């Protein structure tokens, strides 16, 4: 899920989401800063670097 939106399920949905980011920011670089887990929730903390059109 992104920013409290609906959960994304399946590899195809994840691939489409990633393709959208790369289409908008072709020099995209993501760095995983942390993964936090509490109960049945996980948060991926990341740094997003790149330039859009």
Q: Where are the domains of the chain?
A: 11-49
Instruction: Decide if pLDDT at 5 tops 90.
Output: no
Neighbours of 28 (CB within 10 A): 15
Quick one: DSSP state of residue 8? P
Q: Is 25 exposed, middle or buried (0-12, 13-18, 19+ CB in 10 A)?
A: middle
- Does an H or E element contain 13, and which? helix 11-24
Residue with the two structure tokens 């992104």: 2
In the prediction, which pLDDT does 45 show? Answer: 93
- Higher-pLDDT residue of 45 and 2 is 45
Residue 50 is predicted with a pLDDT of 92
Would the pTM of this model clear 0.85, i.e. be above it?
no
- Give the pLDDT confidence of 6-48 residue by residue, as tens digits: 887 889 988 888 888 889 899 999 899 999 999 998 888 999 8
């Amino acid at each position: 899920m992104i920013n409290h939106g609906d959960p994304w399920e399946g590899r195809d949905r994840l691939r489409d989401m990633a393709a959208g980011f790369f289409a908008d920011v072709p020099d995209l670089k993501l760095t995983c800063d942390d993964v936090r887990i509490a109960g049945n929730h996980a948060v991926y903390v990341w740094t997003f670097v790149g330039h859009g059109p």
